[in-house]
Amino acid sequence: MRKKSWISLLMLVLLAITFYIGYTVGIKHNSDNTIQSKWIKDGKPPLPEIDIDGVAIKVVQGSYTWCSSSLGNESSCESVDMSLSEIPSTLVPAGAQINIKAPKRIKEFSLINTNQDLDNEDPYFVPMDKGVYLYKIECDWFLDQGHSDYLFSVEVK
């Protein structure tokens, strides 16, 4: 009789361990399939890389909304409203092409020359006229991870 009790108890313990292992594997599998698991792991939006005529251009982070995943299926989002007083200009040749390496996993990307009088110009080429030109980049990420604005300035002499 005692032997049957021990065997029954052992079977119950093995059954409980089996259920626990199945539960933890299922939780891990489900967390790998959440939207947050496919997000970029950075705590804020990554910067695009820009060069003009082989010269790296300094890009300044503007306003953004960014979500990052925390433990489990939880996420936290923050919105930052940046007010920038001065953006350093880089001296570039007139008419040079603006080469941009966009951040990973973006769904939308736009480059805007913010100077009002240049509506018909191609924003991916530096204007031919002398002056200081401020550019704005807008990025949206897949899976509703966030939106960010970036700014850079060039000077044509």
Which H helix or E strand runs over 8? helix 2-32
Distance of alpha carbon 62 from alpha carbon 83, whole angstroms: 8
Distance of alpha carbon 40 from alpha carbon 105, whole angstroms: 8
CA angle 63, 85, 88 (to 5 degrees): 95
Give 34's DSSP letter. S
The residue extents of the domains of the chain are 2-33, 38-156
Residue 122: Cβ within 10 Å count: 12
pLDDT at residue 34 in the model = 65
Give 122's DSSP letter. -
pLDDT per residue of the chain (157 residues) written in tens, 0 to 9: 688 888 888 888 888 888 888 777 766 655 556 666 677 787 889 999 999 999 999 999 999 999 987 665 677 889 999 887 789 999 999 999 999 999 988 999 999 999 867 656 788 999 999 999 999 999 999 888 999 999 999 999 8
SS3 at position 126: coil
Q: Where are the beta strands (DSSP E) in the chain?
A: 49-52, 55-57, 60-69, 75-80, 89-92, 98-101, 106-113, 131-141, 146-156
Q: In 39-60, which positions are buried (b, 16+ CB within 10 angstroms) versus exposed (e)?
A: bbeeeebbbbebbbeeeebebe
